[in-house]
Amino acid sequence: MDIKKLLSQMTIEEKIGQLLQCGPSIYRNFEEIRWDTLRSGEIGSFIRVRDPEMVNKLQRCAVEESRLGIPLVFADDIIHGYFTNFPVPAAEACSWEPELARRTAEVAAKEARVSGIQWTYAPMVDLARDARWGRNSEGAGEDPYLASVFAKARVEGFQGDDISSDTHVAACAKHFAGYSACMGGRDYNSVEMSCQTLYDMFLPPFKSAIDAGVATVMSAFHDFNGVPCAGNRWLLRDVLRDDLDFKGVLISDAGAVGQMQVHGYTEDERDTAKKAMDAGTDIEMATFTYNHHLKELVENGEIPMEMLDEAVERVLDLKNRLGLFENPYIDVEKANSIGATEQSIALARECSRKSIVLLKNDNKTLPLNRKSKIAVIGALAGNEDDMHDVWSGKNKNATTIYGALKANNYDAMYAKGYDLKTDEVFIEDANRVANECDVILFVAGEGVNYQGFMSGEARNRSDIEIPKLQQKLLKELKRTGKPIVAYIFSGRPLALRNVDETVDAILWSGGLGTEAGNAVMDVLFGDYNPSAKLVWTFPTSNGQSPYFYNHNNTGKPPIAEIWYSSKYIDAPIGAQYPFGYGLSYTSFKYDNLQISSKEFSIDDVLEASVEVTNTGDCFGEEIVELYVRDLVGSMVRPVRELKGFDKIGLNPGEKKTVVIKVPIKNLGFHNQKMEYVVEPGKFMLYVGPDSASGLETEFFVK
Ligand code: BGC
């Protein structure tokens, strides 16, 4: 399709139409759709049309009844699967296996594309630094390097080599930028951030997605240093377009353009349209300011026609790349018959078990003896919806924990224990079941039945412990004297100190999706030895958020005995479980850390090697993590920064040498003049099992 030629044939109304995405207010009721608007070419895209027949009906109207026949593009939030629900992104990232994320994104893309969705609003690449924020589970954790690796993998999985293929979709890196740093962890709240933090911490995952060819980017809801993102010219043009070299479509978040007026940044709808277009927002999702005012703004010369044309061209180009001009329709029969397959379910099980983190295992409580009689206690153990977390796809089926145990003939009894909806605790029943069994499997954490989801958009919490009623039940169960294994689900880092002090073993994960119950069962009995590691720091208590491992040292680092040091008087120093932490049923020993040289120049690649031995009695996989610290800088540097990792499998007694390469040019940061620099001087290097331990050595950059 000759896009330039098509553009030259378009009326201003048709151009503006390409920039309108019909959103929630319209899609809920298709009878409300103004078919005449579609016919006149004034709607460019739709969000969340999940009925394949309706996809074709809308498309037919646009293609066959509008003057130029420009196809629509259908978008949706395909975050961790459509028919096969994989673990939520942050859970999946705990596998530290980007290839796994690429494969699950690929399956999600295929399931969506066949169903009529050509564009997904994923991956979310926002860093998760504040446990209170509801959307931590949608990203890849708190670290910019790990999040960048996963951003690339997910974009590659969704998009493949060619987004016109009927198995891939256009991806969207969101939410640009700094969205997760909302004050108080309150979604949509203002963000105050230095440019250095933006560039060094929050932008790398976006850059990685852009370098991987992400077709679209979504701007965020909040005001960034006082200017709402959807109208933030500096952020969208100078940073995103110029610095990060993004050439694709930029869409606002749902309603975010219209909300600029609520922020107090624009006077009225007309002013809003002007500021959004001037700032560089191409598509306006779910509000109508362009539709109502852009024509007049262009005709008055307040918005240059070239600016409008550039935006429209990008949208047409996306549709062209998606192959929609040639293949606008979907095969409804195929769409209606698609579902999870044997392979996609096997992948979901593999991914889910690799997402489960073992946080504690006193006296080798786990794996469980297959002959044990197990008291499964907790509503979350038996409810399919609770297996998913937010943004699950069209198919909500899942194996539950109790369901999997029963289906596989394990000797298990179930007690609901609590009800998050009604706030009731059923102690007697739980005790009865516990007393009849050898071991208690206490399943708790965040569910979907506490005033709706407990994590997700706008589901922020000021209390990041497990709900009080679960704590109450756990205390009671402790009195039985039976060994307790806690399985905790959550969409955010939790403060698990109380749980840790009470139980013998803890497994944690985010929502696991379709194969949740089977995967948990695999881990409980040692059919899979847990290998996942945390991508968030778990604090010890509520008030420590935001808490992340790659913080600066301060002039008074925390020392318990020192009054004037940077600590809390009522919380321990250090995290409950640090970033990168996770245990195994076996144990690993790290020895003999070597680096290829003591001194490097900017163009060199450092090679660190370490010997890792499986010192336990079963096969296990270990994630080997490499961190650096730049000891002196013209800006103070974080106490540690992840710069590489590897994942290996070892049989009992086996030893492997792991080599991790780090280009020296990756050790830089933005200085006070906002120049990216790698400064000469001494660095520390750490290689180990998590961000708070490991072997160390030093090197110099000249
Ligand atoms: C969310 C986005 C999402 C959009 C469309 C918004 O409320 O912030 O992440 O893509 O809705 O569903």
Q: Does residue 217 sit within a domain?
A: yes
- Which of 492, 525, 544 is the last residue in one of the domains? 544
Q: Counting atoms of ligand 1 from 1, which one is nearest the CA of 122? A: 10
CATH number for the domain harbouring residue 241 = 3.20.20.300
Q: Are residues 251 and 114 in the same domain?
A: yes
Q: Does residue 141 sit within a domain?
A: yes
- Which of 311, 335, 359 is the last residue in one of the domains? 335
Q: Are residues 282 and 162 in the same domain?
A: yes
Q: How far apart are CA 149 and CA 191, in angstroms?
A: 25
Mutate to test the pocket of ligand 1, among 77, 79, 217 (most ligand atoms within 8 A of CB): 77
Mutate to test the pocket of ligand 1, among 28, 74, 121 (most ligand atoms within 8 A of CB): 121
Q: Is the pLDDT of residue 389 over 90?
A: no
pLDDT band at 31 (very low <50, low <70, confident <90, very high): low
Tell me how many domains the chain contains: 3
Q: Does residue 686 sit within a domain?
A: yes
Q: Counting atoms of ligand 1 from 1, which one is nearest the CA of 172? A: 10
| Close Cβ partners of 531 (under 8 Å, ≥ 6 residues apart) | 95, 354, 582, 584, 620, 621, 622, 623, 647
How do residues 141-161 score in pLDDT, each as one tens digit?
999 999 999 999 999 999 999
Average pLDDT, the chain: 96
Q: Which domain, by its residues, includes 483?
A: 339-544
User: For residue 288, how far is its CA from the centre of ligand 1 (angstroms)?
Assistant: 17
pLDDT at position 65 = 97
Compute the average pLDDT of residues 459-470: 96
Q: Does residue 112 sit within a domain?
A: yes
Q: Are residues 376 and 350 in the same domain?
A: yes
Pick the residue whose CA is nearest to atom 8 on ligand 1: 253
Q: Are residues 379 and 327 in the same domain?
A: no
Report which of 74, 95, 68 is spatially closest to residue 21, judged by C-alpha positions: 74
Q: How far apart are CA 487 and CA 441, in angstroms?
A: 7
How do residues 165-209 score in pLDDT, each as one tens digit?
999 999 999 999 999 999 999 999 999 999 999 999 999 999 999
User: For residue 254, how far is its CA from the centre of ligand 1 (angstroms)?
Assistant: 6
CATH number for the domain harbouring residue 445 = 3.40.50.1700
User: For residue 495, how far is its CA from the centre of ligand 1 (angstroms)?
Assistant: 28
Q: Are residues 423 and 287 in the same domain?
A: no
Q: Are residues 395 and 515 in the same domain?
A: yes
Report which of 431, 413, 414, 400 is spatially closest to residue 373, judged by C-alpha positions: 413
The answer to whether the CB of 210 falls within 8 A of the CB of 246 is yes
How do residues 472-531 score in pLDDT, each as one tens digit?
999 999 999 999 999 999 999 999 999 999 999 999 999 999 999 999 999 999 999 999
Q: Does residue 572 sit within a domain?
A: no
Q: Are residues 633 and 514 in the same domain?
A: no
pTM above 0.85, yes or no: yes
pLDDT at position 164 = 97
Q: Is the pLDDT of residue 599 over 80?
A: yes
253 is catalytic: yes
pLDDT at position 385 = 87
User: For residue 253, how far is its CA from the centre of ligand 1 (angstroms)?
Assistant: 6
- Surface-to-core class of residue 177, CB atoms within 10 Å of its CB (0-12 exposed, 13-18 middle, 19+ buried): buried
Q: Does residue 192 sit within a domain?
A: yes
- Which of 491, 515, 544 is the last residue in one of the domains? 544
Pick the residue whose CA is nearest to atom 12 on ligand 1: 77
Across 463-570, the runs of DSSP E, i.e. the strands, are: 484-489, 505-509
Single out the catalytic residue among 130, 143, 253, 386.
253
How do residues 539-589 score in pLDDT, each as one tens digit?
999 899 999 999 999 999 999 999 999 999 999 999 999 999 999 999 999
Q: Are residues 170 and 261 in the same domain?
A: yes
Q: How far apart are CA 424 and CA 671, in angstroms?
A: 54
Q: How far apart are CA 401 and CA 386, in angstroms?
A: 10
Mutate to test the pocket of ligand 1, among 80, 169, 174, 460 (most ligand atoms within 8 A of CB): 174
Q: Is the pLDDT of residue 25 over 60?
A: no
Residue at 659: amino acid letter: V
Residue at 2: amino acid letter: D
Length of the chain: 702
Pick the residue whose CA is nearest to atom 6 on ligand 1: 254
Helix (H) or strand (E) holding 182: none
Q: Is the pLDDT of residue 33 over 90?
A: no
pLDDT at position 23 = 61
- For tokens 């759709």, the residue is 33
Quote the percentage of the chain above a pLDDT of 90: 93
pLDDT at position 203 = 98
Q: How far apart are CA 572 and CA 275, in angstroms?
A: 48
Q: Which residues line ligand 1 (CB under 6 A)?
A: 47, 77, 121, 174, 253-254, 457
Q: Are residues 375 and 329 in the same domain?
A: no
Whole-angstrom distance between the N-terminal and C-terminal Cα of the chain?
A: 53
Q: How far apart are CA 382 and CA 367, in angstroms?
A: 21
Q: What one-character-per-residue DSSP string does 229-265 give?
A: GGG-HIIIIIIIIIIS---SEEE--TTTTTHHHHHTS
The answer to whether the CB of 367 falls within 8 A of the CB of 526 is yes
Compute the average pLDDT of residues 595-623: 98
Q: Does residue 54 sit within a domain?
A: yes
Pick the residue whose CA is nearest to atom 2 on ligand 1: 253
Q: Counting atoms of ligand 1 from 1, which one is nearest the CA of 220? A: 8
Q: Is the pLDDT of residue 634 over 70?
A: yes
User: For residue 334, how far is its CA from the centre of ligand 1 (angstroms)?
Assistant: 28
User: For residue 166, how far is its CA from the centre of ligand 1 (angstroms)?
Assistant: 24
- Surface-to-core class of residue 443, CB atoms within 10 Å of its CB (0-12 exposed, 13-18 middle, 19+ buried): buried
Q: Are residues 400 and 458 in the same domain?
A: yes
The answer to whether the CB of 118 falls within 8 A of the CB of 73 is yes
- Tokens matching residue 494: 């939790």
- Surface-to-core class of residue 200, CB atoms within 10 Å of its CB (0-12 exposed, 13-18 middle, 19+ buried): buried
CATH number for the domain harbouring residue 613 = 2.60.40.10
How do residues 339-363 score in pLDDT, each as one tens digit?
999 999 999 999 999 999 999 999 9
Q: Are residues 410 and 465 in the same domain?
A: yes
Pick the residue whose CA is nearest to atom 10 on ligand 1: 121
- Tokens matching residue 122: 């994923």
User: For residue 457, how far is its CA from the centre of ligand 1 (angstroms)?
Assistant: 8
Q: Are residues 325 and 423 in the same domain?
A: no
DSSP 699: E
The answer to whether the CB of 123 falls within 8 A of the CB of 209 is yes
Q: Is the pLDDT of residue 451 over 80?
A: no
Q: Is the pLDDT of residue 327 over 60?
A: yes
pLDDT at position 452 = 73
pLDDT at position 396 = 81
Which is more confident, 388 or 470? 470
pLDDT at position 609 = 98
Q: Does residue 18 sit within a domain?
A: yes
How do residues 218-255 score in pLDDT, each as one tens digit?
999 999 999 999 999 999 999 999 999 999 999 999 99
